[in-house]
Structure 1
Amino acid sequence: MSQNLNGIDVEALQGFARLVESKAEKGAVRFGVATQWKGGTHSVTEVSSYELGGVKIDRNFEIAVDEPVELLGRNKAANPQELLLAAMNACMTVGYVATAAMMGVTISSLTIKASGMLDLRGFLDLNQQIKPGYDSLDYEVIVEGDGTPEQFSQIHEAVVRTSPNRWNIANAIRLNAKLTINVASNAAEVG
């Protein structure tokens, strides 16, 4: 019988880890989304599929995005910065519960709070000396469970080391941009 700890099927996770260890291509995963502008600051992102080990797996989710009224939106959904922080927190949450489960540690409560300060003069292109992004992000992990402080420190170190979204935010990654311009019925690609 499989052990389920923190909502994680430990046996299945261990089996998947063994599979990826023996066949690296089984651990290759490609995620993608398509975002459509809906007017003003509102957009909707469609999650339709991902690939795991070369196999396409269908999904069907939409993520609404908007800005607060004070930032010229209609306040109908979280904004891109909130979703960036949420994506980092959610990815680390998966890491905490999965790593704890693999160590036999039960988590009874886990909250990750994240924040960052932007200077909108960078976004508004009012001062080219000011970057549009963050200088740093702050986050706090509040965890409760049956593990020792040493175990929770080990779990934390593992999450810091292995969380894809935390890694992508903490390290520069290459962005490969392609711009397609549709003018009337003609399409042109740039870059």
Structure 2
Amino acid sequence: MEYRVQARRIDAHGSLAVAKEAEVTLDTDLAGRRDAMNPVELLLSALAACMLKGIERVTPMLQFRIAGAEVRLDAVRQDAPPRLTLIRYEIIVDSPETDQRLDLLHRNVLKYGTISNTLSGAVPLEGILRRKA
């Protein structure tokens, strides 16, 4: 399986990424912009999407009952050299399933996630999956 994205500079304040029929405005302004995601936020969004898609993939196989899911992510960045040193996540599911089944869902989401597996080889991923209060 292969993926393709094209990105181009619009001006000094932003760029545009295109994949299939979707477009995403990129924050490539040195001063930053509030109406677009910067590269780290895009990376974290990709990880969140991977985790949510993983939930969608495994819940039918596990016959897992779920009414909703949310992913919260934080990253720690060092300056020299610039890189992420830690990504923390919290997956929150609205589900009546047992704690053991929640743990099974968590393990499966991490085990079969393309982005989570790729990133975990480069930066520590620390987090939990918990039931919505």
**TM-score with structure 2 length normalisation?**
0.83
How do 1:25-64 and structure 2 match up within 5 A? 29-47=1-19, 59-64=20-25
Determine whether 1:132 maps to 2:82.
yes
Asked if structure 2 preserves the Cα contact closer than 8 Å seen for 1:97 and 1:107, the reply is no
Which stretches in structure 2 are left out of the alignment for 5+ residues?
A: 123-133
Corresponding residue pairs, total:
122
Q: Which of 60, 65, 74 does residue 115 from structure 1 map onto?
A: 74
Q: Which of 99, 104, 107 does residue 149 from structure 1 map onto?
A: 99
1:78 aligns with 37
Determine whether 1:167 maps to 2:117.
yes
1:99 aligns with 58
CA RMSD of aligned residues (A): 1.7
Asked if structure 2 preserves the Cα contact closer than 8 Å seen for 1:105 and 1:146, the reply is no
Pairwise CA distance, 1:76:
2.9
In structure 1, give the amino acid aligned to 2:32: G
Asked if structure 2 preserves the Cα contact closer than 8 Å seen for 1:35 and 1:45, the reply is yes
Pairwise CA distance, 1:164:
0.4
Of structures 1 and 2, the larger Rg is shown by: 1
Q: Deviation above 6 Å: which 4+ runs of structure 1?
A: none
- Three-state SS of the structure 1 residue aligned to 2:34 is coil
Judged with a 3 Å threshold, the aligned counterparts in structure 2 of structure 1 residues 41 and 166 are, in CA distance, closer, same or farther, namely farther
Q: Which of 48, 72, 75 does residue 89 from structure 1 map onto?
A: 48
- Three-state SS of the structure 2 residue aligned to 1:38 is strand
Q: Distance in 1 between matches of 2:7 and 2:121?
A: 24
Which stretches in structure 1 are left out of the alignment for 5+ residues?
A: 1-28, 48-58, 123-129, 173-191
Relative contact order (alpha carbons < 8 A, sep ≥ 6): 1 or 2 greater?
Answer: 2
Q: Distance in 2 between matches of 1:166 and 1:46?
A: 22
Q: Distance in 2 between matches of 1:145 and 1:38?
A: 43
1:181 aligns with none
Deviations 1:109-159 (A, max 9, x none): 21110011223xx3xxxxxxx221111110011112132211111111011
1:65 aligns with 26
Asked if structure 2 preserves the Cα contact closer than 8 Å seen for 1:111 and 1:143, the reply is yes
